[in-house]
Amino acid sequence: MQRMITLTTCPKDCTPISPETLTWCFQACLESFLTDNKLHVTQKQMVEEGKAKGLCKDTGVVGSSDEMKKFCSAFHIDFEEIEYQKIPQKIESGEGVLIGPWAYKGDPKGQHCVRFCRRIDDQKFLVMNPKFPTAVCEEWSIETIAAWQCGVFKIRLVGA
């Protein structure tokens, strides 16, 4: 089991956003990213537009990295899969990183999405985890990436 330390506060540039439903962790991460970049699109707006364009299931679930990329493009966000080691030391304005554990907490069916906030050191990093009903910031170890079969995705506002 991976060790996670929950912090009492999140960095000011990594706004904690709770998912509006159990299945909207991806949208909560995007809303956090957009909020920190002074853009205001709610999870509900994202899901409504996503459903209208066939970019998510009726529940709002966006299930694969290809679907995530298409969903992001609808909101003018570039989406690219990268290796954990390629996460920049400093995240610039208009950029972000999402981490998609495809086996969250070791459950092979436990898909989830968190927003990378920053590196703490070579072995640990801070994420905004949009847990339901309350989002938190947590310290994760790099072993989590492999143990939970995580995909790492760089996001960037188009034109940033």
**pLDDT tens sequence across 20-39:** 999 999 999 999 999 999 99
How crowded is residue 4: how many other Cβ atoms within 10 Å of its Cβ? 14
β-bridge pairing 77-82 and 150-157: antiparallel
Tell me the average pLDDT of the chain.
Answer: 91
**pLDDT tens sequence across 95-125:** 999 999 988 888 888 889 999 999 999 899 9
- pLDDT, residue 1, reads 46
Residue 4 scores a pLDDT above 70: no
Domain 5-157 classification at class level:
alpha beta
The domain spans of the chain are 5-157
